[in-house]
Amino acid sequence: MVKNKWITLVFLILVVIFNSCKSKSEVNKTRRPNIVFIMTDDHAYQAISAYGHGLNNTPNIDRIAKEGAIFNRGYVTNSICAPSRAVMLTGKHSFVNGKVDNVSAFNWDQDNFAKSLQKSGYQTALVGKIHMDGLPQGFDYSNVLPGQGEYYSPEFIENGVKKIIPGYITTITTDIALNWLKNKREKDKPFLLLYHQKAPHRTWMPEEKYFTLFDDKTFDPPANFFDDYEGRPAAATQEMSIFNDMDLVYDLKMLDKEGDIKTKYRGMFQRKYDRMTDEQKAAWDAYYDPIIADFKAKNPQGKDLALWKYNRYMHDYLRTVQSVDDGVGQVLDYLKENGLEENTIVVYTSDQGFYLGEHGWFDKRFMYEESFRTPILVKYPKEIKAGTVIDELVQNLDFAPTFLDYAGVDIPTDIQGESLRKLVKGEASEWRDAIYYTFYEFPGEHKVKRHYGVRTDRYKLIHFYYDIDQWELFDLEKDPSEMKNVYNDPSYADVKNNMHEQLEKMRTKYGDSDELNQASLNRVLKGKISNH
Ligand code: SGN
Ligand code: CA
């Protein structure tokens, strides 16, 4: 009898110990941070008020910087949409993950950080633009746009099933994200939400409530708007000039009812317009028809036309940003109101930067600052001090290892980026002094030539190749707008040699080479990839 009592007592003690261990490990797991990874498409850092360019007001995006950290030197590795997304998912350069341009296929079977988080117990969701074919892997829930997506009455693919949703894309994407947070989230698991907007991508079609925003504002173009590209032949042959390449109808909305304005892409814009409901069309026409009439009456030419186009572009571009900012506010509010703020990492970034008239351009692709750089803002109240400013060189390559680090998941040794966790806490003892860049989509839209290069704190070396063999060197301290190529300037001979050494170091470190470039070219030339 006494013996039995003892056995029962020991048994009970063991049960208590076992249960307390179990609940401790569960507590640890539930305490892992949630991650909301907000990405927009073509959002220039110049169009986020936290970066101080004075073009517009983005109070909600700014909140992330105010309550957390802003990165002043965030860069991409390849300034184009789908390749950037592949880099962010894998933490590997394009020549390693295989997604070198918008046209080539992405291999979803390779590792990505969402897969690792999912395996480790996170609930994962992907909402909005992804721009890569195939069912996304690593997500318990996906509701994505096919390809580029449409501003009005967009089609979405929910877990593989297509449907058209009436309304405006930015608000629909936000609603889907909020609906997932409210109704699909399993409250006992940490979560990863990729909330990826199409806006402010071309063709910059605003939401009705913002049609008149900035009507009272005339924007002055950047100082190098009338760039003549002297000493930079690869910059001279692009097709992304606001003056020469923006289509009056497709880009600038001059779809006149009389049909007088005949442009190359009028039909394409007509199809976008036709997606609207009668009500939406009426509101659209009420705003744009008087602008069309005024444009036809004034018929600006030359410099006046260039400035008119620039302003028309800026007005619509910045309006689409405003709807993005609203969505960010709604998601931040949801986190706050539901007790999730403290333990959720929120990242805001774009798939790359964008030209808002610098060098006379729209679009991206070049390794010049405005499209090489991208906005990065991060908040995580538990670990990141409000108002942190980071000036070190970071890249979108760093997101995957950063998320894994925060989630306590081992970072695979073949990941090429570095975790930003220590850097943002002010605890990184050393950091990289150079970053590497590649661009491949040539022949292709906008005709930006193939190039690769290296950037250090002060200098940038770029090599354009394929049907050109052109080197460019910039002293970013003296020439931040990259107007003067000093590659052949004898006073920069030492800098040039050092930068060539840096470039070789980067190519060795990451495993890039002329042979790999040739292999990617051969695939294009063989027609395996139709690089339109
Ligand atoms: C589309 C745009 C281009 C843009 C590419 C890539 N043309 O093709 O202007 O450079 O996307 O953009 S459009 O007529 O379809 O608007 S990316 O952000 O997806 O890489
Ligand atoms: Ca983009």
pLDDT in tens, 211-237: 999 999 999 999 999 999 999 999 999
For ligand 2, the distance from its centroid to the CA atom of residue 307, given in whole angstroms, is 24
How much is the pLDDT for 16? Answer: 46
Strand order, beta sheet including 191-196: 161-164, 155-158, 141-144, 123-128, 191-196, 34-40, 344-350, 376-379, 69-71, 388-390
Q: What is the DSSP string of 51-103?
A: G---S---HHHHHHHHHSEEETTEE-SS-SHHHHHHHHHHSS-HHHHS--SSS
How much is the pLDDT for 141? Answer: 98
Residue with the smallest CA separation from ligand 1 atom 20 is 81
- Residue (of 152, 266, 290) closest to 212 by Cα position: 290
Tell me if 445 CB under 6 Å of ligand 1.
yes
Distance CA 484, CA 339 (A): 52
How much is the pLDDT for 522? Answer: 80
Tell me if 43 CB under 6 Å of ligand 1.
no
Rounded (5°) CA angle 181-186-189: 110
Tell me if 363 CB under 6 Å of ligand 1.
yes
Distance CA 457, CA 168 (A): 41
Residue whose tokens read 């073009």: 55
Which residue among 148, 244, 350 is best mutated to probe the pocket of ligand 1, counting the most ligand atoms within 8 A of its Cβ? 148
Tell me if 201 CB under 6 Å of ligand 1.
yes
For ligand 2, the distance from its centroid to the CA atom of residue 351, given in whole angstroms, is 5
CB contact at 8 A, 269 and 249: yes
Tell me if 101 CB under 6 Å of ligand 1.
no
Q: Is the pTM of this model over 0.75?
A: yes
Which residue among 79, 102, 439 is best mutated to probe the pocket of ligand 1, counting the most ligand atoms within 8 A of its Cβ? 102
CB atoms inside a 10 Å sphere around CB 362? 25
Could you tell me which residues come within 8 angstroms of residue 138 by beta carbon, excluding any fewer than 6 positions away? 89, 112, 113, 114, 115, 116, 117, 118, 124
Helix runs in 126-257, H state only:
169-179, 233-236, 242-245
Residue with the smallest CA separation from ligand 1 atom 16 is 202
Residue whose tokens read 């008087």: 290
Domains of the chain: 34-205+311-530 (3.40.720.10), 228-310 (no CATH)
> Closest-lying ligand to the alpha carbon of 44?
2
The torsion defined by the Cα of 199, 205, 208 and 212, in degrees rounded to 10, comes to 100
* Atom number in ligand 1 closest to CA 351: 18
CB contact at 8 A, 65 and 325: no
Write out the H or E segment, with its range, that includes residue 194.
strand 191-196
* Atom number in ligand 1 closest to CA 265: 14
For ligand 2, the distance from its centroid to the CA atom of residue 26, given in whole angstroms, is 40
Residue with the smallest CA separation from ligand 1 atom 8 is 445
Could you tell me which residues come within 8 angstroms of residue 415 by beta carbon, excluding any fewer than 6 positions away? 90, 91, 92, 400, 401, 404
Task: Give the chain's mean pLDDT.
Answer: 94
Distance CA 308, CA 265 (A): 19
* Atom number in ligand 1 closest to CA 363: 10
> Closest-lying ligand to the alpha carbon of 131?
1
For ligand 2, the distance from its centroid to the CA atom of residue 338, given in whole angstroms, is 32
Which residues, given as ranges, of the chain have pLDDT below 50?
Answer: 1-2, 9-10, 12-29, 529-532
For ligand 2, the distance from its centroid to the CA atom of residue 138, given in whole angstroms, is 22
How much is the pLDDT for 508? Answer: 98
Residue with the smallest CA separation from ligand 1 atom 4 is 363
Tell me if 203 CB under 6 Å of ligand 1.
yes
- Residue (of 221, 203, 209, 244) closest to 446 by Cα position: 244
Tell me if 130 CB under 6 Å of ligand 1.
no
> Closest-lying ligand to the alpha carbon of 41?
2
